[in-house]
Amino acid sequence: MSLRSYILTRIILALPMIFILLVVIFFLLRIIPGDPVLAILGGKAPLEVIEQKRHEMGLDKPIMVQFFDYLKDVFTGNLGTSTLTNRPVIEELKDRFPATLELTIFAFIIALLIGLFWGAESAWRKDEPLDIGARVYSVLLYSVPVFWFGLILQLIFASYLRWLPVGGRIPAVTSFEVRTGLYVLDAIMSGDWKGLLDVLRYLALPSITLGMVTSSIFLRMVRNNTVLILSKDLVKAARARGLKKRVVLYGHAVKNAFVPIFTIIGMQFASLLAGAILTETTFSWPGIGSYLVMKIRYRDFPAIQGTIIFFGLFIVVISIIIDIVNALVDPRVRY
Amino acid sequence: MKKYLVALLMLFVALGFSASDYIVVGTTDKIRTLDPANCYDYFSSNILFNVLAGPVDYKVGTAEIIPWLFEKWTVSKDGLVYTFTIKKGAAFEDGTAIDASVFKWSWERVMKLGGDPAFLLGDVVDKIEVVSAQTLKVTLKYKFSAFVSVLGYTVGFPMNPKTTPADKFIDGAPSASGPYKVTEWQRDVRMVLEANPKYFGAKPKTPKIIIQFFENSTQLRMALETGQIDVAYRHMDPNDVLDLQKNQTELGLKVYLGASPQIRFLVLNVKQKPFDNPAIRQALSYAVDRDAIVKTVFSGLASPLYTLVPIGWWSHIDVMPKYNPKQATQMLQKLGYSSSKPLTIDLWYTPSHYGSTEADVAQLLKRSFEATGVVKVNIKYAEWSTYVEYFLNGTMGLFLLGWYPDYMDPDDYLWPFLSKSGAASMGSFYESAEVEDLMIKGRAATTLQERTALYQRVQQIAAKDAPYITLWQGFADCEARSNISGIVLEPSQIFRYYILEKK
């Protein structure tokens, strides 16, 4: 299969996946008992007002009509209007997405750095203290709930030591202009170095929390795969040629171990987003994760629906990209 | 080069703020909308109270109505026509004068858009006329002496016709007419309020208020303790409030406690067996141990309540029976119940809408009813939206509910509970021609004395008929660094940022 037709097949296969996702989200949210209008106005507004509101939202239409309206809306990029704030859900997601993106990018970098270097080094020194430490670390962090780990870090570094802020994304006063919504970038673009330092201080705890928890999986994968490769002939050959450890380990072993790891990274991205939901709530990080939690609390159905669709599409797109890159790196995937 | 200069300048500006120029307020509340035509939740109106000027205000620290944009008003003899005189010189931040036509435009917009609070005006207002630039005439559909109180809520606050769309709700912040204007709003992150130079009233004591939003109360507490915020307002966990109060001097904090107009009560559905029997409702009202709930669940941070009108309001009288399990037992035995043949009832609560304490309240109520020895209680629960459906369609017979007022008048604690339409939307389905008649008279009466007498009579009948058993009145709290002054927890629940000061 040529690369182009592989990419095409991959994208076409994604379409039914998206459709199933849309159907499931729609019907799941309607099976759940409870009426969104009542959730907001119940016990306060007169009954006529409630009826009128329900009519405005189209909730009195037959379910199939609602379903087709919904499909039409989704395909025209309209994710509905939040019942809580009366704003288009897509607008609210746009406001919030940069926060989640910034958090996941930094968490991902941290996870990758820890996973890659510690994993490779402990494979090199198999069964030595560094390796045992790595194994204990990854088991511990894999089993720890991310919100609990976040709370503990918060307690130590924000509450006792007071080195870092408790939560939020920016201090009360900043002077950089918000352009991209990625504050690190915004601060750099405005040349506001004090602001950049502030932003990084706020970013530190959430991204370390999420990054460390995610790193446990990377660490194990990198270590185990590298151990496997290290016992292979190509490594023996490399060492026999008298290459330095750095070249043998990173140039030959890790590089070869990386293909399966790359697939895992793609899959981990989904769980990284799931972890972001909890991390964001723990640190009052105003991203899409905490947005979803808040909207669930208020029974804001259009917003919940829109957010899940957004999450779903995001993961589909990421996994297509990962698959394509994978196919580029390792031609075996295509056949 | 220019870039570096700008950066340097910005750094200069950043460092130029001295500490007392601004106060940081932290909250876990959310802002839904800043359009008075759709604003019907606490924190949104809280912001609007500081950003817009309204027709009337309350004297700081009291529930007494005082003039604000309306200098004075008169009511016609039949109680149907209100004539308001508007203050001269009031304007929005862009200079647009606030006159009678602005009020007419704003109120008609509220009623036309039909937002969440629109019924507050739409139900009573028949006609709005501009008599002159400074005079506004409003004709009501029926006599309603609490009308001016309704105007104290944000639904009656005028909006700038030049900047506000007539046919839809605004998305951002309104054109300011009050002490502050919104200069920055990153939703659920931060809001910056700066003094509005065009405001006709007193200048705010602190030129800049920054509101930071948090996701949970643990964070709010830690942010206050570490000095990230100066003031924490809504919602600290009750245990944290007590804990901070105990250690306030060491921590350099001050904890403020006040009464809240929120009341909590049991609803008894008078159309459902066995609660259709007034004698059973009456007996149950003897069997409620309010003190135990207040002490055990709220560590004393609430007040037991024995009538619908909250403590400290005019016409409030304790009318419901005090806890007397023996009396309750006797009354129920007379009705043929015994320990071998107990009265079996379902008690409903909703687990998250009223906070995490609700399950404990239900448990204590069960224990307190069962202490009579002749009642057996099954506890049931449902999530809020299902719960609302259940009480509107009469599924539940006995359940916990809460009420938060829309306007500062006892009418708002009686009419929505005891009128036929009100009782139906509250799930009690109570009907009484006598009570309805007294309440209509109360709405028409113009003297406080007359109204007090009528409303006390209504409360007495309500206690006897017992479609509701009130339990407790909530508390309001605010925690601040000890160098912050000007925090007043008002009966009206308006939180005035413009009187806050940092030393």
The DSSP element (H or E) to which A36 belongs, if any, is helix A36-41
State the average pLDDT over residues B24-47: 92
Q: Check: CB of residue A39 under 8 Å from CB of residue B384.
A: yes
State the average pLDDT over residues A11-39: 83
CB-based burial of residue B167 (10 Å sphere; 0-12 exposed, 13-18 middle, 19+ buried)? Answer: exposed
Condensed to tens digits (0 to 9), the pLDDT of residues A31-57 reads 876 677 777 666 666 777 778 878 877
Of the residues B31, B380, B384, the best mutation for testing chain A's interface (the one with the most A CB atoms within 10 Å of its CB) is B384
Q: What integer pLDDT is reported at residue B434 of this predicted model?
A: 96
State the average pLDDT over residues B447-471: 96
B187 vs A: CB within 8 A: yes
Most confident range (mean pLDDT) of A47-61, B2-16, B44-58 is B44-58
Residues 386-415 of B with CB under 8 A from A: 386-389, 391-392, 401, 403, 406
What is the Cα–Cα distance from A137 to A219, expressed in whole angstroms?
9
What is the Cα–Cα distance from B401 to B468, expressed in whole angstroms?
10
Looking at chain A, how many residues does it have?
Answer: 335
Evaluate whether the domain defined by B259-475 bears CATH number 3.10.105.10: yes
Q: How far apart are the first and last CA of chain B?
A: 40
Residue A222 has pLDDT above 70, yes or no: yes
Domain made up of B48-156: CATH architecture: Alpha-Beta Complex (3.90)
Q: What integer pLDDT is reported at residue B16 of this predicted model?
A: 40
Tell if the CB–CB gap between A194 and B14 is shorter than 8 Å.
yes
A150 vs B: CB within 8 A: no
CATH topology of domain A89-334: MetI-like fold (1.10.3720)
Residue B380 has pLDDT above 90, yes or no: yes
B239 vs A: CB within 8 A: no
Superfamily of the domain at B2-34+171-258+476-502: Periplasmic binding protein-like II (3.40.190.10)
What is the Cα–Cα distance from B200 to B203, expressed in whole angstroms?
9
Which residues are registered as beta bridge partners of B212? B26, B190
B32 vs A: CB within 8 A: yes
- CA separation, residue B435 to residues A236, B142, B438, B495 (Å): 96, 17, 5, 35
Domain positions in chain B = 2-34+171-258+476-502, 48-156, 259-475
What is the Cα–Cα distance from B364 to B362, expressed in whole angstroms?
5
What is the Cα–Cα distance from B375 to B398, expressed in whole angstroms?
13
Chain A and chain B share a number of CB contacts under 8 A equal to 162
List of chain B residues whose C-beta atoms are within 8 Å of the C-beta of residue A194: 11, 14-15
Closest Cβ–Cβ partner in A84, A151, A170 for B32: A84
**Chain mean position to CA B271:** 29
State the average pLDDT over residues B322-344: 95
The DSSP element (H or E) to which B66 belongs, if any, is strand B65-67
Condensed to tens digits (0 to 9), the pLDDT of residues A130-180 reads 999 999 999 999 999 999 999 999 999 998 999 999 888 988 888 788 888
Condensed to tens digits (0 to 9), the pLDDT of residues B152-171 reads 999 999 999 999 999 999 98
Neighbours of B165 (CB within 10 A): 13
Residue B388 pLDDT level (bands cut at 50, 70, 90): confident
Residue B329 pLDDT level (bands cut at 50, 70, 90): very high
A43 vs B: CB within 8 A: yes
Q: Check: CB of residue A269 under 8 Å from CB of residue A280.
A: no
**Chain mean position to CA A75:** 24
**Residue of chain A nearest B412, judged by CA positions:** A44
Residue B433 has pLDDT above 90, yes or no: yes
Q: Check: CB of residue B80 under 8 Å from CB of residue B139.
A: yes
Residue B332 pLDDT level (bands cut at 50, 70, 90): very high
Return the ∠ at Cα B38 (arms to B40 and B125), rounded to 5°.
Answer: 90
Residue B5 has pLDDT above 70, yes or no: no
Query: Is this complex scored with an ipTM above 0.95?
Result: no
